[in-house]
Structure 1
Amino acid sequence: EGTALIQKRNSNSRGSLIAASFNFINSIIGSGIIGEYATHLTNLLYFCFYLMTDYSIVLLIKGGNLSGSTSYQSLVQSTFGFPGFLILSALQFLYPFIAMISYNITTGDTLTKVFQRIPGVGPDHILAERHFVILLITFMFTFPLSLYRNIERLGKVSFLSTVLTLTILIVVMIRAATLGEHMYDSPTDIFKPLKKFIMASLCVSLAFICHHNSFLIYNSLDQPTLSSWSRVTHISVGSSLIISATFAVAGYTTFTGYTQGDIFENYCRNDNLATFGRFCFGFSIITTFPLECFVTREVISNVICSRLLSKAEHVAITLLIVAVCTALSLAYDCLGMVLELNGALSATPLIFIIPSACYLKISPGSWFQSDKMIPTLLIIIGLVVMIIGLIMTGVFPQDCSHGVEMFYCTDVNISVNTIRGCSCFFLVFSFLNSHAK
């Protein structure tokens, strides 16, 4: 069966726990960590989502073991039949597909500002044109990397992405210390507490979702057992919790009420340290794109055919996916709305509702047993967040400020602290480098 081909494909090239963990971390940490509402959150809310995500990932694989399934799609099909298979396939396709669009939008927003710091590259230069940059990055990096047929081979790329993410975190923390005190008073928050909580929940759902490729990474393990998978899950989701929560605190304490849908839109163009952070973040997103393309391609191949794709079919489907994502990202450039919509439509049911529903139906015994209370609670939470989130996304769409220089960038104090921030960063880097030697 097509849904069982993943295990056969990975049998010739198994990976270690470390490689699987880096792939998982790379899958979890994407453009969601820079979203506006993600930076509004407290560590307590992040910790709650960490617990629920960690539990649901293990629950997903446990349900797969109970049903003898080797993929998310086959698990849902064995549990809820062909209608469930189609619904899951649509969601599992929609999330990484929209995520890839958001990655292209982020790349275009981020790297254009990086290129404008190159001498001779002004606002009218071709390297400052987001459409050209998106096409350039697609042809040079994302499409070639997306052609990999085995997810374990992306382990080294995911390690690079994790290193870049940690570097970005250092940049944001330095900026919080050197820039935050010179910001103007933030505007009055006109959003109701319920709206802020729901929309924040959607963005954090994006910051933690990895269920759509959990089986892919699980089957890439050298010894795919529930205990080894639990270790990978705890390490990966725990690391992502620390990174995301630290990013949220540092980002929001810097810009508070002025925080944009893409937090790097808050930093001024003449900020060299922020430019370095944009560069790292742009390439971190580029290395995450292939993981999402891998899942999207698997969903298509499982729905259309029940066999391994030939090389020609593999290239053709990959080219089609990348081309459509690129075309949509060229036509639409508002990241915040994309993140909210993806969180409501795809992330919430994939994280909370479907894994819990599958486990409740497959596992023996009554639903009123103590070990089934948490899955039932997750379904309720998922339904509430998804329904209210969709309504509020339509009623209160997030503003888009793509490419607009923030008004406070004319403040001379910010330019002075840019120099201080860069000096501080390079002093820390030199200190670590000397000790490493």
Structure 2
Amino acid sequence: MAQQQLSSEEGTVLLQSVKAQGPLAGVRRSSINSASFNFINSIIGSGIIGLPYALNQAGLPFGLLLLIVVGFITDYTIILLIKGGNLSGTNSYQALVQSTFGLPGFLTLSALQFLYPFIAMISYNITTGDTLTKVFLRIPGVGPGHIFAERHFVILVITVVFTLPLSLYRNIERLGKVSFLSMVLTLTVLIVVIIRAATLGPAIPPTEHAWAFAKINAIQAVAVMSFAFICHHNSFLIYGSLQEQTLSNWSRVTHVSVGSALVFSAAFAVAGYATFTGYTLGDIFENYCRDDNLVTFGRFCFGLSIITTFPLECFVTREVLSNAMCNRDLSRVEHVAITLLIVAVCTAISIAYDCLGVVLELNGALSAIPLIFILPSACYLKLSPRRWYHFHNLIPSVLLGLGIIFMITGLTMTGLFPQDCSHGVEMFYCTDANSSSTVAP
């Protein structure tokens, strides 16, 4: 990832205020490995299953290039964000933007920082309901109409038994081992997708222009990719959990986390798109056949991975609400009450709506692009003692302009050309008499 150097005047000051005053002060700290696991887990969520569709929108070569660029920009702006906190003496994304742009900036950032993880949790529930119902359908005696095949029931049970208890933790460090498990599960899913690219892909004829260099919907692809990579909203939270809070340690965490997520994401996106080409849907698991036992195992692993990712987003959502409401540490009762409210509203919306692809595109353009491209760059440029056109400020200036263009264009194209939601529809090649010999493990 792009290594960023502090200027001479910036390099003399580390983020000691964050170390002493952060929201996790006085609690057990994370090692670099634990922080990296949490960070990777926060990046690789439900957005990864939309990346093959992003390549379908942008074209495989150009889409892969865009994915790499978004990864580099993510790495660059995460460190830029912490450098902005250094310059302003602040210890959270909200405090940084408030210090830089006052109350209007604080309100804007609070809305975006709440909106992204909140919608992400909705997408996690949708993914859980979609994937695990198909897993349960493979259990003998469970068929259409059975209670375990109802996504509403599955989402409710998973929420009560798993995601809510994990979300009630007050210390993010306790999720480090859970995040490592999530990484292992995601790697397992990647292996399943690669195997099916080799075994199922040759049986599905590629669509017209399947291997075109670029396609017209590339901007929408950027929105999906931004959704998949966004982790800025919990950067200060994870930074504050480090045992030794130095910029060099944070850079190591950032490079390892974003680099690992980029490798996972690129492999997943290419393997998924190469299997289905133009037939690739917003949720890649909707492309696979229901009677595919290997993919059923992959669905189970991914569903479990999503369950362990949900609490990380809940941490951020709860912190944004607590900062906006009272700007102090929550009491035990307040902590439980706000967590219950957040989880309950997310669950209700995810039960009522089930089109994952539109959720990914909308959240990417509306929330992720401003949080990745626009706000970190704008804050740094405002705090920098140099002019915006100075050599050291050239990259932030370019990212600010690109972010505005991508956001406006992405929202416009998502509204004008929304993708079809084919939730629950069995694909044509699954009904082919010859497909069974190919799909069966």
Structure-2-length-normalised TM-score: 0.92
- Residue in 2 aligned with 1:408? 429
Q: Pairwise CA RMSD of aligned residues?
A: 1.7
- Residue in 2 aligned with 1:385? 406
- Residue in 1 aligned with 2:22? 7
Question: Would the alpha carbon gap of residues 163 and 192 (structure 1) be closer, same or farther in structure 2, given more than 3 Å must change?
Answer: closer
- Residue in 2 aligned with 1:164? 185
Distance in 1, matches of 2:398 and 2:412, equals 22
Gap runs ≥5 in structure 1: 423-437
Alignment coverage as a number of residue pairs: 417
Mapped contact 1:195–1:392 kept (Cα < 8 A)? no
- Residue in 2 aligned with 1:32? 47
Gap runs ≥5 in structure 2: 1-17
Alignment of 1:239-388 (within 5 A): 239-388=260-409
2:116 corresponds to 1:95: yes
Cα offset, 1:6, TM superposition: 7.1
Distance in 2, matches of 1:239 and 1:128, equals 34
- Residue in 2 aligned with 1:430? none
Cα offset, 1:411, TM superposition: 2.2
Cα offset, 1:195, TM superposition: 4.1
Structure-1-length-normalised TM-score: 0.93
- Residue in 2 aligned with 1:85? 106
Which structure: greater helix fraction?
Answer: 1
Distance in 1, matches of 2:20 and 2:87, equals 19
Residue in structure 2 matching 1:23, options 3, 23, 38:
38
Mapped contact 2:55–2:64 kept (Cα < 8 A)? no
Alignment of 1:30-179 (within 5 A): 30-35=45-50, 37-40=53-56, 41=60, 42-179=63-200
Distance in 1, matches of 2:342 and 2:21, equals 19
Residue by residue over 1:11-48, the C-alpha shift from the partner in whole angstroms, topping out at 9 and shown as x without a partner, is: 32111000000000001111111115334354322211
3-state SS of 2:169 partner: coil
Mapped contact 2:24–2:240 kept (Cα < 8 A)? no
Cα offset, 1:78, TM superposition: 0.5
Distance in 1, matches of 2:214 and 2:418, equals 16
Mapped contact 1:142–1:290 kept (Cα < 8 A)? yes
Distance in 2, matches of 1:202 and 1:306, equals 32
Mapped contact 1:49–1:205 kept (Cα < 8 A)? yes
- Residue in 2 aligned with 1:434? none
Residue by residue over 1:231-279, the C-alpha shift from the partner in whole angstroms, topping out at 9 and shown as x without a partner, is: 0000000000000000011000000011111000000000000100000
- Residue in 1 aligned with 2:229? 208
Residue by residue over 1:63-111, the C-alpha shift from the partner in whole angstroms, topping out at 9 and shown as x without a partner, is: 1011111000000010001110010000000000000000000111100
Mapped contact 1:5–1:308 kept (Cα < 8 A)? no
Residue by residue over 1:256-305, the C-alpha shift from the partner in whole angstroms, topping out at 9 and shown as x without a partner, is: 01111100000000000010000001011111000000000000000000
Residue in structure 1 matching 2:238, options 202, 210, 217:
217
Decide which moves more: 33-42 or 269-278.
33-42
Distance in 2, matches of 1:6 and 1:135, equals 37
Percent of aligned pairs with the same residue? Answer: 71
